[in-house]
Amino acid sequence: MRKFIIVIFLLYPIFFNSCANQLPPSGGEDDIIPPTVERIKPLPNTVNFPGNKIEIEFDEYVDRRSLRESLFISPKPKGELEYNWSGKSVEIVFDEGLEKNRTYVFTIGTGLKDLRGGNAITQPISFAISTGATIDNGKIRGAVYDFSVSETSSDKYKNLIICAYLKNKEINPEKDLPDFVTQVNQEGTYSFSNLPEGEFRLFAINDNDKNFLFDKNFDDISIPSGDILIKDSLFINDVNFLMSFSQNYFVQNFYSFISKDGVPLGGVFSQFQSLKSQLTKDSSGLLYSSLKNYEQDFPPELTSFFYFPSNDLSKIYITENIKYSDTVSKKDYPLSYKWLNDSILEIRARQLANPGSIVKVKIDFRTEGKQVNSTFILTISEQRKMGKIEIRNQYDSLNLICVILNKNNIYHYNVENLRGIANYTFDNLPQSEYRIFSFEDKNSNEIFDRGSYYPFIPSERFYLSEKPINTKGGWSGEVYIRLSAVLLGQ
């Protein structure tokens, strides 16, 4: 699993009026190094703390406003905070003091930057103190998978937060502020530490308006697979979340926007438009296809999708007038047809096309008066250019759906139900980057159910391979499925 940073944010950021005209020191070389903390008073993990202030000293001058906006304390102290600056040090005073027998966690988020170069810290800084004899020690960690932006983007997880709520009432993340918040770091992992005992519910929110609430008009949300019980110093691992997928990693393919279950992220219409943008439109405007003429290294399964925006033809007529044939033998391939709805057709070959062969796809609806007469030439990948990925499944007693995703073409995917299968091989894979996505299909609908945030319905447990798997000719790789944690209610 990826490295993680223990971070807990305050329920609310504390804002004060900025000091006027804070200026960086002049002269010297360009500053390209972010600030670090030199000293904290009282020391981290101090117990029986009687005071009403803390002091933080940095190794250089920091932007004072950036500290105020990135400082989070959990739980939120009563009253206001007072910031007293002296050079590189700041004294933070709690005008109403701190509650007795409480653990407080202080976090400086990645918004903190130095004054001279504007260099922001790359990982949050966190420490805890307690006004009682002990420090709460409950821990939760996990990962957030979000491919809605470039994987190389430095601010990929900039607005992603994990909100934790003590389950002492009905929770609606649109209206209820969380009891604890943690930031997702640049590696996509998160961690809570110093949590009190109790039952928690978590949500991952892409908090674009930065108000710690889920706004369905601006934000994305991911629902957990259950609630979490923190007891003693229990450490809960692999509480993972799945955010939106980019077009290259669209795991649900067409199912997401035709499903009426759960909460489709990004909206049904926008998901469909993303898919539609990658389809080829014929000159008549009556047919969209996932095929591209003279496409190379096509998979031998011949998986293809067709979308008919205004379909008044019978399904039987359509399937009878779409032909796949070998250009050498002139024989038609036997096909299987699956209508995903009244307008979308999925076609797969009943037998694999020969490696290196050329397949002609002919679509002709002219006998019904439609100006649809399209031809596509596809070159099947050569055997020497194909590899395989072997799946190791420790959950063979579960109804586990396994999907292999091709980064270079979202329509070249395969799905298998691995119930009762401990080892499975995805074979005949053209050279590309692949990811493995698996989920426990508890309701047997063959769709990954993301759940509902209110009223609460848990999502299904899932696994997503951490890194792309690059296949090459004759290459064989292994993937071990590891589902997210078993939580309460499962």
By residue count, the chain amounts to 490
d(CA 486, CA 449): 16
Q: What is the pLDDT of residues 18-67, one digit of tens each?
A: 444 566 666 567 778 999 999 999 999 999 999 999 999 999 999 999 99
Q: What is the DSSP string of 66-93?
A: HHHHHEEEESPPSS-EEEEEETTEEEEE
Q: State whether the Cα torsion 103-109-114-115 is positive or negative.
A: negative
Helices (H) and strands (E) in the chain, counts: 4, 35
Measured at the CA of 338, the angle between CA 333 and CA 342, to 5 degrees, comes to 130
Burial class (CB in 10 A: 0-12, 13-18, 19+), 319: middle
Q: What is the pLDDT of residues 245-258, one digit of tens each?
A: 443 333 344 334 33
d(CA 441, CA 412): 22
Pick the closest to residue 290 from 387, 355, 402, 374 (CA basis).
374
Would you say 56 and 90 are in contact if contact means Cβ atoms under 8 Å apart? yes
Would you say 221 and 183 are in contact if contact means Cβ atoms under 8 Å apart? no
Domain boundaries, the chain: 37-242, 280-381, 387-480
Pick the closest to residue 126 from 2, 239, 10, 1 (CA basis).
10
pLDDT range class, residue 85, cuts 50, 70, 90: very high
| Cα 5 to the center of its chain, rounded Å | 18
Element (H, E) at 257: helix 255-258
Return the CATH architecture of domain 280-381: Sandwich (2.60)
| pLDDT at res. 149 | 46
Average pLDDT along the chain: 84
d(CA 99, CA 189): 31
**pLDDT above 90 coverage of the chain, percent:** 53
| Mean pLDDT of the region 459-478 | 88
Q: State whether the Cα torsion 245-247-251-254 is positive or negative.
A: positive
Residue 182 DSSP symbol: E
Residue 238 DSSP symbol: -
| pLDDT at res. 28 | 63
d(CA 182, CA 204): 10
What is the pTM assigned to this prediction? 0.79
Q: What CATH number belongs to 37-242?
A: 2.60.40.3710
CB within 8 Å of 41: residues ≥ 6 apart: 54, 55, 56
d(CA 79, CA 95): 6
| pLDDT at res. 184 | 86
Q: Which CATH class is domain 387-480?
A: mainly beta
Task: Please name every residue paired with 392 in a beta bridge, in sequence order, or none if there are none.
Answer: 423, 480
pLDDT at residue 137 above 70? yes
Q: What is the pLDDT of residues 161-177, one digit of tens each?
A: 999 999 988 999 999 99
d(CA 263, CA 218): 15
pLDDT at residue 72 above 50? yes
Same fold for the pair 37-242 and 280-381: yes
pLDDT range class, residue 344, cuts 50, 70, 90: confident
Q: What is the pLDDT of residues 287-330, one digit of tens each?
A: 899 999 999 999 999 999 898 887 789 999 999 999 999 999 99
pLDDT at residue 139 above 50? yes
| pLDDT at res. 248 | 35
| Cα 236 to the center of its chain, rounded Å | 19
Distances in Å between the Cα of 37 and the Cα atoms of 6, 16, 141, 311 are 16, 22, 24, 65
